[in-house]
Amino acid sequence: MPKSLLLAATALIPMLFPLVAHAADPAAQKTAIDAVIDRNWADLDALYIDLHSHPELGFQENRTAALLAGRMRKLGFTVTEHVGRTGVVAVLKNGDGPVVLIRTEIDALPLEEKTGLAYASRAQQTTEDGTQTFVTHACGHDNHMAWWIGTAEALLSMKDRWHGTLVFIAQPAEEMVSGAKAMLTDGLFTKFPKPDYGFAAHVDAGLAGTVHVKQGPTTSAVDTINIRFIGVGAHGSMPDRSIDPIVEGAHFVTDVQSVIAREKDPWKFGVVTVGAFHAGAVSNIISDHADLQLTLRSYDPDVRKIINEGVERTARAEAEMSRAPAPEIHHTFTASPVVNDPALAADLAARLKAGLGADKVTLVPVAAPGWTASEDYSELVNAGMTHSVYISIGGYTQATIDRYKAEGKPLPTNHSPFFAPDHTIAIHTGIEALTLAVLGVTGG
């Protein structure tokens, strides 16, 4: 090469490398992401309000799924509906590169909203057992769906910065811990590109604008158990003619906590919660049955075994003590813990700290406890998506946190009828975090 050309080429090097560094700089990427959010915010805000006002129960999310599917089609994704009954899969290929999955949940809870928001849900639906109930997005899935759409918009606007295939899934029935399995059974990882990487995020009651990234075990295992105590009905004035299932159930509610207090290792997490107790109809009739619904949470497999066996043993013992027939015990929904890829989690936390600010991001090490809530996102991880990270995003402003503290009231958490995160900040942060996550594994 002539010396003049060599010198000219050498002179270009300082000019080229800053461009490469700038393109890969998370802070610069955040600036580009924020520009897309600002441009689309009015539409995203309207979408959030629409979703919040029209929640739907698991496997009944027909309106929600159709709305999201239509949005993704307009963005240019190839969309398939009714995957796992009401799930949506949207695929977009942008050259050669890894396959990256982004998941949102789309279902809501059988709960009456009490937030007082102008757009609060008054929706009602019928549950699978025939009960009419109010429905609300008290878990925050309305935030998740909005940032899912926003992340797709941001990535499309930055197509020159990444290469690979996006698989955006809208999963039904997360609250029933069964939607992910339904989508897998329906061919999620066989009919569509199997992901090399996966990311999901959940809003919580933390400080808005902050992100927690956990290495290793991230959520607890969940086991849902329905128990029917069977008695003998009688007149309320003649208890000697009855076997009272309410007494059976009441003893069980308190006695089962001995499994937690006296059987499991006190240094290991384990929870047994009786979330529903239904029996009787009027005051002067002793019912012939009582129905209890339980959720069990744990991290450790041994603890999980102990509390599952303890629940069944205690229920049978209560029935025997009452000289009642053996209770009917049904295990309904179950999911294992979500386990994040430690190396990918550390890399993502570093990227987010560089992009969002070190004070906004916390990396929680493997040895530290995870979140006590549970997720069937673990079904996707266990199906072979080993490079995956599930993150937590704060939803409450400092002013809201301070107000509740000043009033001496607990801050409403997910599943509270008063749960109302600041969706503006939460959605912005969710889009930033998930977009930076995808860029980090696709050459961005």
| Confidence (pLDDT) at 247 | 98
Mean pLDDT, rounded, for 22-26: 69
Average pLDDT, the chain: 94
Asked if the model's pLDDT at residue 16 lies above 70, the reply is no
Asked if the model's pLDDT at residue 18 lies above 70, the reply is no
| Confidence (pLDDT) at 257 | 98
Count CB-CB contacts under 10 A for residue 174: 25
Residue of 290 and 15 predicted with greater confidence: 290
Asked if the model's pLDDT at residue 175 lies above 60, the reply is yes
Bridge partners of residue 100, in order along the sequence: 166, 197
| Confidence (pLDDT) at 282 | 97
Rounded CA-CA distance 368/264 in Å is: 19
| Confidence (pLDDT) at 20 | 31
Cα three-residue angle 254-256-260, rounded to 5 degrees: 110
Radius of gyration, CA atoms only, the chain: 25
Is the dihedral angle over the CA atoms 408, 410, 412, 415 positive or is it negative? Answer: negative
Mean pLDDT, rounded, for 216-220: 96
Asked if the model's pLDDT at residue 442 lies above 60, the reply is yes
Rounded CA-CA distance 141/136 in Å is: 10
Q: Which residue has the tokens 């090490």?
A: 365
Alpha helices (H) along 189-338: 245-255, 257-262, 301-321
Asked if the model's pLDDT at residue 22 lies above 50, the reply is no
Rounded CA-CA distance 320/248 in Å is: 9
- Give all domains of the chain, ordered by start, each with its CATH number: 25-218+338-441 (3.40.630.10), 220-335 (3.30.70.360)
Share of the chain above pLDDT 90, in %: 93
Q: Are 165 and 94 in contact (CB under 8 A)?
A: yes
Mean pLDDT, rounded, for 377-403: 97
| Confidence (pLDDT) at 24 | 77
pLDDT in tens, 108-142: 999 999 999 999 999 999 998 899 999 999 999 99
pLDDT in tens, 259-274: 999 999 999 999 999 9
Asked if the model's pLDDT at residue 383 lies above 80, the reply is yes
Helix (H, G, I), strand (E, B) or coil at 340: strand
* Overall pTM surpassing 0.95 (yes/no): no
